[in-house]
Amino acid sequence: MQKAEQKKDWALSSGAFNRLLEWLDEGTNSGGEKYLDIRGRLVAYFDRKNCLSPDELADETLNRVARRIEEVGSIESETPAKYCYIVARFVFMESLRANEKGDVPMDDVLRQTEGNQFVVSDEKEEKANREKLLNCLETCTEKLEPEHRELIIGYYLGEQRTKIENRRTLAAKFGVSVNALSIRACRIRDKLEACVGKCTNEG
């Protein structure tokens, strides 16, 4: 009981966070990229499971990992990615048990129900959101490097066969394979999404 309470009260300190970063980097210095990457995977994982708050569950997972590192000094039984996954599974199972017990608010429960689409309140708000989104998109795209801007726009231009042809041309232009181009485009898009998400929240 005491141990559980200690765990519950545990907060991620800056020292623990740094150690977490080091552990995730596995000897290299990614400048926090590894942390952002693993956190993104955790969010996506919980989101795929239709969890209510993927971000919170991802942070919870990383907190537990950091705490474990604090407790044992180092985790070497598994790779960081594998260990994070194992912890994430536990966190997910716990969230499921919490839902079954009724600890989740009814509104959130409804949102979890299959078959219910995410419904916008009204058309006017939808239009306003779209406008805001476009403006933020324009702002965020302007912040991109010109080469990245050209790549991301060209990558997603056209439909079906046209899009495939465009991508081949772009890949040839940048001197990379189509697969490598798709990965680059994916990362640039993630950056844009994150920027747009932040912009719309601020607006």
Smallest CA-to-CA distance from 137 within 193, 203, 201, 187 is with 193
* Residue 190 engages other proteins in binding (rule: CB under 8 A): yes
Considering only 6, 13, 30, 112, the residue that binds other proteins (CB under 8 A) is 112
Q: Give the whole-angstrom CA distance, residue 111 versus residue 114.
A: 8
Residue length of the chain: 203
Indicate whether 85 belongs to the interface with other proteins (CB under 8 A).
Answer: yes
φ, ψ for residue 31, nearest 5 deg:
70, 30
DSSP string covering 95-149: HHHHHHHT-S-HHHHHHHSTT-----S-HHHHHHHHHHHHHHHHHHHHHS-HHHH
Task: Tell me which of 60, 65, 154, 171 binds other proteins, using CB under 8 A.
Answer: 154
Is 99 a binding residue for other proteins by CB under 8 A? The answer is: no
**Distance between CA atoms of 131 and 81, rounded to whole angstroms?**
39
Which residue in 82, 127, 143, 198 binds other proteins (CB under 8 A)? 82
In angstroms, what is the minimal distance from the CB of 9 to other proteins? 28
Q: Give the footprint of other proteins on residues 4-63 (CB under 8 A).
A: 38, 41, 43-45, 47-48, 50, 54
CA–CA distance, 93 with 74 (Å, rounded to integer): 25
Q: Is 160 in the site for other proteins (CB under 8 A)?
A: yes
Q: Is 91 in the site for other proteins (CB under 8 A)?
A: no
Residues of this chain that interact with other proteins (CB under 8 A) are 38, 41, 43-45, 47-48, 50, 54, 79, 81-82, 84-85, 88-89, 111-112, 114-118, 129-130, 133-134, 137-138, 141, 150, 152-154, 156-160, 162, 165-166, 169, 173, 182-183, 186, 189-190, 192-193, 196-197
